[in-house]
Amino acid sequence: MTMYVYELDRVEHLRDWLALRNDVFQPVDNGLGNGSWEAIAHGEVAHFDPQLRPLVSPKSMFFSEQESLFVFDSETFATTKPKHGSQVLFGVKACDLVAISYQDKHFQQDPYYQARRQKTLLVGIDCSAPCENGFCRSVNAGPQVNENIADLILTPMPTIGGDMQGWWLICSSNNGRAAVSGMDLRPADSSWKSWREMNRRHSEAGFKSDTHIINGIQRINARAVPDEHWQQFAHQCISCSGCSQICPTCSCYTTRDLQEDDKYRRQRVWDSCQLEGFQKEASGANPSAEAGRRMYRFWYHKFSEDIALKMGRFGCTGCGRCETVCPGSVGVHSIMEKISNA
Ligand code: SF4
Ligand code: SF4
C-alpha cells in the first residue's frame, strides 16, 4: 500500500490518542534496568523510553502462558475462546515484530491465538543502536522495522546538539492509517526516507562481530557437531527452561485437565523441549531423554534451513534474551561459540 508519513513531536501524543479507543501496552522500566509490558490508560502520564527492550517479549499477549480451551460438564463440551477487546502494542522492536509474524504463521488456525491477534494494532519502533546481546542484523530481523509486519512505525528524527527533534510516523497498513485518522498530524517532507536509512546504517554499524553466529549456523546445518559434543555442552544446562520460556518464537505447549466440582476444564500451558519429559511417549520411550539430544533439538529448531524453508525464515530473531537468562552460560552466543569451535 502507499505509505503515509507524518511528523510527530512526542510519541506520547500518539499513544494517548490510541488509548482513547484501545487498551494500550508499552514497555515500562521496572527500575532494575529491565521492563515488562504494562497497560497505559488514556490521560496517564507515563514516560516512553524508546531504547527499552523488555526482557519479556510480547509473546504472551497472543499465546497465553496458561489458558482454558474448553469445559466438559459430563454431557457437552463448551469452548472457552477468549472474548477480546481491541489492543495496541506500542513500541515493539523489529526483532519482536518478526517473532510475532513467525508465530502468526504457526498459530494461523488457532482460534485462541487469533482471537487476540486479530484485535491488535502493532506500533513498531526502529532501533538506533543494538541492544544487549542482540544480533538481529545477522538473522535478518532488524534493527529496522519491516513495513509488512507493523501497522504503524516510529522512526527517530536526527538529534541536534544531543536533543531529539521528534519522530516520523509511518502508516504501513490500512488499519494503521485508520487508527490515526482524525489526529492533527503534519505530513512529512520526502527527506524522512534518507534519514531513516541513515539511522539503519548507524544502528547496524554498532553491532559486534557475528562470526560465531554465522559459523555456528553453517555447522548446525552441515550436521558437523558430533553427538558427544552436544552432550558435553548440555552438562551446563540445568533444564530450567528459561531459554524457551523467554524466546519470542518458542511455541510448544502441553495440556492438562482440571476438575472443578462436576466439570472438567482443559487448559493449555507453555511447555519446553529442554525438559526431560517433553517427548516422552506413553510406552515410556523417550527420544530426547539425553540432555544433549534436547539441546541439539532446541538449536536445530532455531537455525535449521529445513525449518526455515517451511516457515520462511530462521526460528531465531537474534533478540539475545536466552543469553541473558541462561544460568548455565549456554545461551545463544555461548553455544554458538562452542559450536563454531567444536
Ligand atoms: S533463540 Fe535466543 S536469541 Fe534467538 S530468538 Fe530465541 S531467545 Fe532470542
Ligand atoms: S536457560 Fe540455559 S540452563 Fe535453562 S534450560 Fe535453557 S539452556 Fe538449559
Question: Taking residues 245-249, what's their average pLDDT?
Answer: 98
pLDDT band at 120 (very low <50, low <70, confident <90, very high): very high
Same domain for 44 and 136? yes
Residue 71 belongs to a domain: no
pLDDT band at 232 (very low <50, low <70, confident <90, very high): very high
Question: Taking residues 194-223, what's their average pLDDT?
Answer: 97
Determine phi and psi for 134, rounding to 5 degrees.
Answer: -75, 145
CA 323 to ligand 1: nearest atom: 2
CA of 277 to the centre of ligand 2 (A): 15
pLDDT in tens, 302-340: 999 999 999 999 999 999 999 999 999 999 999 999 999
Residue 73 belongs to a domain: no
The residue among 205, 229, 264 that closes a domain is 205
Same domain for 165 and 226? no
Instruction: Round to whole Å and give the CA distance between 100 and 94.
Output: 10
Determine phi and psi for 263, rounding to 5 degrees.
Answer: -120, 160
Residue 169 belongs to a domain: yes
The CATH number linked to 26 is 3.40.640
Q: State whether the beta carbon of 242 lies less than 6 angstroms from ligand 2.
A: yes
Question: Taking residues 210-216, what's their average pLDDT?
Answer: 97
Instruction: Round to whole Å and give the CA distance between 33 and 295.
Output: 30
Same domain for 321 and 293? yes
CA 246 to ligand 1: nearest atom: 7
What residue owns the CA closest to ligand 1's atom 3?
320
Instruction: Round to whole Å and give the CA distance between 145 and 141.
Output: 8
Same domain for 242 and 201? no
102: pLDDT strictly greater than 90: yes
* pTM for this predicted structure: 0.96
Residue 75 belongs to a domain: no
The enclosing H or E element of 24 equals strand 23-29
Instruction: Round to whole Å and give the CA distance between 190 and 202.
Output: 20
Instruction: Round to whole Å and give the CA distance between 316 and 246.
Output: 12
Q: State whether the beta carbon of 1 lies less than 6 angstroms from ligand 2.
A: no
Same domain for 233 and 191? no
Work out whether the CA dihedral 250, 251, 252, 257 comes out positive or negative: positive
281 exposed, middle or buried (CB, 10 Å; 0-12, 13-18, 19+)? exposed
Instruction: Round to whole Å and give the CA distance between 178 and 281.
Output: 50
Task: Provide the pLDDT for residue 150.
Answer: 98
Question: Which structural domain, as residue segments, surrounds residue 290?
Answer: 211-252+274-341
Instruction: Round to whole Å and give the CA distance between 255 and 165.
Output: 50
Report which residue type is found at 294.
R
Helix (H/G/I), strand (E/B), else coil: 26: strand
Same domain for 306 and 159? no
CA of 5 to the centre of ligand 2 (A): 43
Q: State whether the beta carbon of 238 lies less than 6 angstroms from ligand 2.
A: yes
Kindly identify the ligand whose nearest atom is closest to the C-alpha of 248: 1
Cβ proximity of 154 and 169 under 8 Å: yes
Cα 272-308-153 angle, rounded to 5 deg:
90
Kindly identify the ligand whose nearest atom is closest to the C-alpha of 299: 1
Cβ proximity of 164 and 188 under 8 Å: no
Q: Where are the beta strands (DSSP E) in 221-279?
A: 253-260, 263-270
pLDDT in tens, 40-90: 999 999 999 999 999 999 999 999 999 999 999 999 999 998 889 999 999
CA 325 to ligand 2: nearest atom: 1
169: pLDDT strictly greater than 80: yes
Q: Where are the beta strands (DSSP E) in 45-156?
A: 66-72, 77-79, 87-93, 120-125, 152-156
Instruction: Round to whole Å and give the CA distance between 336 and 332.
Output: 6
Q: State whether the beta carbon of 82 lies less than 6 angstroms from ligand 2.
A: no
Determine phi and psi for 80, rounding to 5 degrees.
Answer: -120, 50
CA of 329 to the centre of ligand 2 (A): 8
Q: Which of 136, 36, 38 is nearest to 96 (CA)?
A: 136
Q: Which of 76-85, 139-148, 152-161 has the highest mean pLDDT?
A: 139-148
Q: State whether the beta carbon of 239 lies less than 6 angstroms from ligand 2.
A: yes
Cα 46-94-248 angle, rounded to 5 deg:
90
164: pLDDT strictly greater than 90: no
What residue owns the CA closest to ligand 2's atom 3?
237
Same domain for 220 and 135? no
Q: State whether the beta carbon of 100 lies less than 6 angstroms from ligand 1.
A: no
pLDDT band at 2 (very low <50, low <70, confident <90, very high): confident
pLDDT band at 31 (very low <50, low <70, confident <90, very high): confident
Cβ proximity of 88 and 18 under 8 Å: yes
1: pLDDT strictly greater than 80: no
Q: State whether the beta carbon of 247 lies less than 6 angstroms from ligand 1.
A: yes
Domain count along the chain: 2
The residue among 205, 240, 261 that closes a domain is 205
Cβ burial 150-180 (10 Å sphere, 16+ → b, else e): bbbbbbbbeeeeeeeeebbbbbbbeebbebb
Average pLDDT of the chain is 96
30: pLDDT strictly greater than 90: no
Same domain for 194 and 306? no
